[in-house]
Amino acid sequence: MKHLYFLGAALLLMIAPAMAQTAWRIEPGQYIGNTKIGATADDMAAMLGPADGGDAAMGKAWSIWYSHKKDKSLDSTRYLAVYSVREETNGKEAMVVKQVRVNTSSFTTEKGLRVGSAYIEIKKLFPAIKVVAEYQDKLKGRKIILYDVRKEGIAFEMTTVKGGKQVCTAITVHPQGEDINTYILFPGYEGLKKL
């Protein structure tokens, strides 16, 4: 029994650093943090706890987890959103994660891209990036341009700031080779205009 304890402790010490490395990482086509494309929504809820909000219709759903302020109240300006679709997986029907979206700079790609990165930085690392849609942010009244790197499985929402510079305001990871616009829109952005 003592050997099992030491084996378990050794495994935990080996796994913990790997989990810590990916906890704030964005990997195109695969995951944002510990939220992975292809996982079931039940697995995500077990890891993240109950969602703070969302929207669902006809076998498709957004689940949103908001950041918390120091006083423990919700900060709805910062979130992690998971989009899932009902599919058969492992012989059962389940809600399967198809997109993960964040609007906080805490998460970064291996090369350091994050919310707040300039379009020029993103274009250098993803030269195949292209505009796929534009829409109006109804809450802030600003125009958002959605860029997708379809082959890689990553999309960037950009807005123009003072001086005409485009800055990333949200990042979405989706399955490689699929369009970002394949599914329903994120709640609040129903005014999407496809180009």
Strand 25-27 relative to strand 108-109: parallel, antiparallel, unpaired? Answer: parallel
99 with 155: CB under 8 angstroms? no
Tokens 């989990």 found at: 19
Model confidence, pTM = 0.83
Q: Which domains does the chain have, with CATH numbers?
A: 25-194 (2.60.460)
User: Around Cβ 145, how many Cβ atoms within 10 Å?
Assistant: 18
Reported as a single tens digit per residue, the pLDDT across 26-53 is 999 999 999 999 999 888 888 888 888 8
The beta strand positions in 8-91, using DSSP E, are 25-27, 31-32, 35-36, 53-57, 60-68, 74-89
Reported as a single tens digit per residue, the pLDDT across 112-124 is 999 999 999 999 9
Reported as a single tens digit per residue, the pLDDT across 144-162 is 889 999 999 999 999 988 8
